[in-house]
Amino acid sequence: MSDHSMQTSLSPIDSDPQETSEWQDALGSVLQAAGPARARFILDRLSESARQPTIGWEPVRGTPYVNTIPADRQPPFNGDLATEERLGSIIRWNALAMVVRANKAYGELGGHIASYASAADLFEVGFNHFFRGRNDSFQGDLVFYQAHSAPGVYARAFLEGRLGENDLAHYRQEIGARASGAQGLCSYPHPWLMPDFWQFPTGSMGIGPISSIYHARFMRYLQHRGLLDTADRKVWGVFGDGEMDEPESMSALTLASREGLDNLVWVVNCNLQRLDGPVRGNGRIIDELEALFSGAGWNVIKLVWGSDWDGLFARDPGGALAKAFAGTVDGQLQTFAAKDGRYNREHFFGQNAELMALAQGLTDEQIDKLKRGGHDLVKIHAAYDAATRHQGRPTVILAQTKKGYGMGEAGQGRMTTHQQKKLDREDLIAFRNRFQLPLSDEQAANLEFFKPADDSPEMRYLHERRAALGGYIPSRRVDAEALAVPPIAGYAEFALKADGKEMSTTMAFVRMLGGLLKDPALGPRVVPIVADEARTFGMANLFKTIGIYSSVGQRYQPEDIGSVLSYREARNGQILEEGISEAGAVSSWVAAATSYSVHGMPMLPFYIYYSMFGFQRIGDLIWAAADQRSRGFLLGATAGRTTLGGEGLQHQDGHSLLMASTVPNCRSYDPATAGEFAVILDHGMRQMLEQQEDCFYYVTLMNENQAQPSLPDGVAQDVIKGLYRCDGTSGEAQLRLLGSGTIFHEVAQAAALLAADWGVHAEVWSATSYAELARDARAVERWNRLHPGETPRVSHLESCLSGQRPIVAASDYVRAWPQLVAPYLDARFVALGTDGFGRSDTRSALRAFFEIDRHHVVLAALSSLARNGVIESSVCAHAMERYQIRVADHAPWEC
């Protein structure tokens, strides 16, 4: 081996070569006489014996570095190869021209050429033969596109007539495009920004892979529950090999195989490079991924070498090529991709006499053009065909390509190719020549887009292939009918008129959920989702009534079968119980929350979870859900930093509401009572299901049992707006107290103490959503600023809290949550919250520690009045003595 090669393992010395040869000859005889099935049977029996502890043999995972589908098993290519190659070349050019033109004009726009250059053929075979569109008679396949390859998808849509030249000229210029009447093309697949085009957001690497798995599983869920026929549809995902390092990419592989998702096909573009260098410079990523996927139970198809290599393998009975590849790492394969035919002759084929003999009949140019499997349309077609026919397991195709394929010295296989966004005149002409494009030197140098005549063979072929496959993709449609929501009294009367009944808001939700499930129209569309805490949230009663979804039913007798709340799995079960995987659970939620657009069937998903393990842990997936225009409810249970007393630091949430407030189409609420929650639930369902608005809700739920008041008449709209007065008194108050969530009870008690102990009259307000209050106040402030000559508008916040009376706001969340509204108020505003790490103790001790209990609310109120000169400051000292408030050495957020 030359110095660039590496042995991945050391073979033991053969102590008896003759005996080894006899065993190999015997296997060869069986193969010849009885065929491969008999040979596999014998090997299986031998492996059973070899795995006994006395021998301790384990098979080496992986197969030789060759194609899984040999040339003699390839199906006929059922297309016009020459036409498809010409189309592919044109699309490559337009994609490159789009990115380079944008960066010549505006150097800061960025963009990617090399990723699509490597994946172009993988996409084109899919577009021409396998990716089926949605039409009136077929719901279509789902396709998750490698985000960095978006320019190629735009370039194809340009040929299809769905995008114009002016659109391509505004790549990554979504704002500037409006002035010229163009469609600005977003950087990556973003359904929010291009709602008629992209279906799935994949720009954050790892999000596409896990999402594709749960979408494939949700299609089975719909099928098994008898809601929608999805049996013939496929989910395709084209991803990068570097992307497979993301935890989300790998986290659900066993779910896909365990569920037998043979409706799922991944194509991993193994161009061997990530952004800065090789994915596995000192190893082989294809071998590593083969071991991972096969170990997880997937069907693995390796697509390594193109058709040009078939003849070389056929002339190599001794296996010199396979041996050489086994000793060549990806870092060297990248170098081979960047170098020309002469270099490859000397440094690869020059390793030994056997390889040199194989290369003798090839010119340097022929060696330079030896294709890797991911650039060979015939080989790709064979791999895709095999994947679609495979039954019982998901399939992954590991396709080897060259990053920057066709970019020559400007980018092919280079370490810097991912950042390559500009090409000089010579590079552009060389690219033109490489792909035989009908462009003059000046047209190439000027980066002119090229589109064949409408009646050309290429254009006719392009449209015919898409017509045969059901229509153009990617395409996002929203044609689902509105779904009626039952009257609130039918499922939540107990909460609206609670009359002091003691319960937690979590229990109130579960009871409302049970009522919704009974509704004949909406009930079947409800999708309850939990990670692994259904019993914690009091949902165990649903196990028997609606069942837990399982694609195989229940093959065992549960331990608690005699219990009223026994664990029941069923093929038509309605609950999605995802185990300990918040990423998996929210991915299931997204699949259900976007069913209205993906499947034309609106669903109503409720994902309930420990609030600490939501936005903090899976915020990236929640942003992707927002981008995908999800509709549904995220329920942060055991919410707040002081309600989950004994759990301590890693379980006590004081910041999810603040994080939720940053997501533009997320409506976040912190209700204090069951009645408030009922109103929010009703409003959200009507907004998403009846009015079909693209928003979703994050609502906190508490596990603390409290006496629930009846909801006052006439406040429902104010609950939705985020604030209403609930003390029921009249007269001029000296200050205002705002409470929310579980701390509202402390605020109400503080108002009573202020009146009884200090003669201070305070208004009491329930702040259900500081995010909604701030959203409205921002909008009003902007309108007033931009319309100076018109009558100023008044926000709901200002209409409630105008004037100079001090305001004290207390919540179980960080101070920044109530402080969202402070800039829009004239009065002095004091926020009490739970900044800092959580602690383990009783609720009362925690609230005293974080200085948000009733006594600290009273102190804050008195301090505000003293600051305004209404009372003497000595009153504050008396209050601290009376309530035994001690001055801690450190603030709660400092220790």
The pLDDT, as a whole number, for residue 408 is: 65
> Alpha carbon of 401 to those of 144, 152, 334, 805, 827: distances in Å?
19, 16, 10, 69, 64
The rounded Cα 75 to chain-centroid distance in angstroms is: 35
Tell me how crowded residue 22 is: count the other CB atoms within 10 A of its CB: 11
Residue showing tokens 């009259």: 761
Sign for the CA dihedral angle at 643, 645, 648, 649 comes to positive
The pLDDT, as a whole number, for residue 420 is: 56
The pLDDT, as a whole number, for residue 422 is: 66
Spatial CB neighbours of 60, under 8 Å, sequence gap ≥ 6: 9
The pLDDT, as a whole number, for residue 739 is: 98
273 secondary structure, DSSP code: B
What DSSP letter does each residue of 310-330 carry, written as one string?
HHHHHT-TT-HHHHHHHT--H
The pLDDT, as a whole number, for residue 5 is: 39
Phi/psi of residue 801, nearest 5 degrees:
-125, 40
Question: What parts of the chain have a pLDDT lower than 50?
Answer: 1-10
> Alpha carbon of 203 to those of 94, 171, 299: distances in Å?
21, 16, 26
Phi/psi of residue 548, nearest 5 degrees:
-100, 130
The pLDDT, as a whole number, for residue 732 is: 84
CA nearest neighbour of 621 among 688, 531, 523, 505: 531
Residue showing tokens 């009573």: 752
Structure tokens at 807: 């305001």
d(CA 257, CA 765): 52
Q: What is the CA radius of gyration of the chain?
A: 32
d(CA 30, CA 42): 9
Spatial CB neighbours of 821, under 8 Å, sequence gap ≥ 6: 770, 773, 774, 777, 797, 829
d(CA 79, CA 596): 35
> Alpha carbon of 532 to those of 237, 509, 539, 586, 608: distances in Å?
28, 18, 11, 12, 10
Residue showing tokens 């505000």: 864
d(CA 101, CA 562): 70
Question: Strand 395-400 to strand 264-270: parallel, antiparallel, or no bridges (unpaired)?
Answer: parallel
d(CA 374, CA 760): 77
The rounded Cα 53 to chain-centroid distance in angstroms is: 43
Tell me how crowded residue 500 is: count the other CB atoms within 10 A of its CB: 9
The pLDDT, as a whole number, for residue 416 is: 57
Which regions of 824-886 does DSSP assign to beta strands (E)? Answer: 829-832
Spatial CB neighbours of 303, under 8 Å, sequence gap ≥ 6: 67, 68, 69, 373, 374, 379, 380, 383, 397, 398, 399, 400
How would you label 640-656 residue by residue, b for 16+ Cβ within 10 Å and e otherwise? bbbbbbeeeeebbbbbb
The pLDDT, as a whole number, for residue 60 is: 80
CA nearest neighbour of 429 among 448, 450, 411, 445: 445
Contact 392, 297 (CB under 8 A): no
- In degrees, to the nearest 5, what angle opens at C-alpha 87 toward C-alphas 83 and 89? 115
d(CA 421, CA 97): 10
Question: Strand 735-739 to strand 762-767: parallel, antiparallel, or no bridges (unpaired)?
Answer: parallel
d(CA 427, CA 120): 19
d(CA 344, CA 368): 8
d(CA 562, CA 545): 15
Provide the 3-class DSSP secondary structure of residue 725. Answer: strand
The pLDDT, as a whole number, for residue 418 is: 55
> Alpha carbon of 866 to those of 306, 506, 833, 856: distances in Å?
82, 39, 21, 15
Structure tokens at 93: 């050019």
The pLDDT, as a whole number, for residue 104 is: 82
> Alpha carbon of 313 to those of 362, 381, 672: distances in Å?
14, 20, 72
d(CA 223, CA 241): 32
The 3-state secondary structure of 537-589 reads CCCCHHHHHCCEECCCCCCCCCCCCCCCCCCCEECCCCEEECCCCHHHHHHHH
Question: Strand 395-400 to strand 299-303: parallel, antiparallel, or no bridges (unpaired)?
Answer: parallel
What DSSP letter does each residue of 597-624 carry, written as one string?
HHTS---EEEEEEEGGGSHHHHHHHHHH
Question: Strand 501-503 to strand 706-708: parallel, antiparallel, or no bridges (unpaired)?
Answer: antiparallel
